[in-house]
């Protein structure tokens, strides 16, 4: 029996990923460099350790760029693009339905707590989440399962009593590593990435009945 739902944040609740890729791609283009989706995708849903788009032009390509100014410009462009973004389809319905059904609601994100709280409050949905775990709470972020394991413990439920909502391969791998069934709702960017087949993949939550998730029919 499903007793709780754990949401990823970036790209799942609101599509921050497309705005980031666009901002970085535009910034790279100013220096005649093409930032491929394949290259950028390695840092989606995880930390920047594998590929750091803020530093790549300077560290790997040895371009004479002011890191602070580059970072500031990218973040400003991202903020501007995010003004056009709203909560993804189906998310509000799932939050309301989960709350009405008495399910525990958690959030597990590889981003910082400050970043997550900013947008949860901006979207007016912070109150739905009784447990929020971020990069500030763990030693390793996704695809490591620590974020999910901590969120399960915080909610007081077991892995087989939970469903995870993710948008990226790294996130879905973390859910799988924690033995949690996962619904994958890729966004414009992560839709082109390869996911493990054991997950239930759908364009967005508005296309999947809430009851099919809590009764686990979508996993049959």
Residues 76 and 96 in one domain: no
What average pLDDT values come out for the chain (220 residues) when binned by 10 residues? 96 92 95 90 71 88 92 95 92 98 97 95 96 96 96 98 94 95 90 80 94 85
The boundaries of the domain holding residue 68 are 16-82
Q: Is the C-alpha dihedral spanning 47, 11, 132, 207 positive or negative?
A: negative
Q: Shortest CA distance to 188 belongs to which of 52, 37, 43, 73?
A: 37
Residues 100 and 51 in one domain: no
Q: Is 194 exposed, middle or buried (0-12, 13-18, 19+ CB in 10 A)?
A: exposed
Residues 119 and 24 in one domain: no
Q: Is 10 a catalytic residue?
A: yes
Q: What is the structure's pLDDT at 43?
A: 79
CB 107 within 8 A of CB 6: yes
Q: Shortest CA distance to 174 belongs to which of 153, 195, 191, 192?
A: 195
At which of 51, 82, 113 does a domain end? 82
Give pTM, 2 decimals: 0.88
Spatial distance between the Cα atoms of 99 and 58, rounded to a whole number of angstroms: 47
CB 172 within 8 A of CB 166: yes
Of the candidates 8, 15, 144, 167, the residue annotated as catalytic is: 8
Q: What is the structure's pLDDT at 114?
A: 96
Q: Is 8 a catalytic residue?
A: yes
Q: What is the structure's pLDDT at 39?
A: 87
Q: What is the structure's pLDDT at 13?
A: 97
**Three-state DSSP class for 20?**
helix
Q: What is the structure's pLDDT at 47?
A: 66
Residues 30 and 123 in one domain: no
Residues 8 and 21 in one domain: no
Q: What is the structure's pLDDT at 49?
A: 60
**Which residues contact residue 48 at a Cβ distance below 8 angstroms, ignoring those fewer than 6 apart?**
54
Residues 95 and 72 in one domain: no
Residues 177 and 70 in one domain: no
Residues 111 and 91 in one domain: yes
The total number of structural domains in the chain stands at 2
Residues 105 and 55 in one domain: no
At which of 58, 82, 106 does a domain end? 82
Of the candidates 10, 15, 144, 167, the residue annotated as catalytic is: 10
Q: Shortest CA distance to 31 belongs to which of 69, 79, 87?
A: 69
Spatial distance between the Cα atoms of 177 and 196, rounded to a whole number of angstroms: 12
CATH of the domain at 209: 3.40.50.1000
Q: What is the structure's pLDDT at 6?
A: 98
């Amino acid at each position: 029996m499903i007793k709780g739902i754990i949401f990823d944040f970036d790209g799942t609740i609101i599509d921050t990923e497309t705005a980031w890729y666009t901002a970085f791609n535009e910034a790279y283009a100013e220096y005649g460099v093409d930032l491929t989706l394949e290259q950028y995708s390695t840092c989606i849903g995880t930390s920047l350790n594998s590929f750091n788009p803020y530093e790549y032009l300077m560290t790997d390509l040895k371009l004479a760029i002011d890191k602070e100014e580059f970072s500031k410009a990218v973040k400003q462009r991202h903020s501007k693009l995010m003004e056009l973004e709203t909560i993804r389809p189906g998310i509000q319905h799932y939050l309301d339905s989960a709350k009405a059904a008495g399910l525990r609601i958690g959030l597990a994100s590889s981003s910082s707590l400050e970043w997550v709280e900013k947008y949860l409050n901006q979207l007016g949905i912070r109150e739905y989440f009784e447990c929020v775990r971020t990069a500030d709470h763990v030693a390793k972020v996704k695809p490591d399962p620590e974020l999910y394991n901590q969120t399960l413990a915080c909610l007081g439920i077991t892995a087989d009593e939970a469903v995870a909502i993710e948008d990226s391969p790294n996130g879905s791998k973390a859910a799988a590593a924690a033995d949690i069934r996962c619904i994958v709702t890729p966004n414009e960017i992560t839709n082109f990435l390869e996911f493990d087949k054991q997950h239930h993949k759908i364009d967005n939550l508005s296309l999947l009945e809430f009851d099919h998730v809590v009764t686990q029919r979508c996993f049959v």
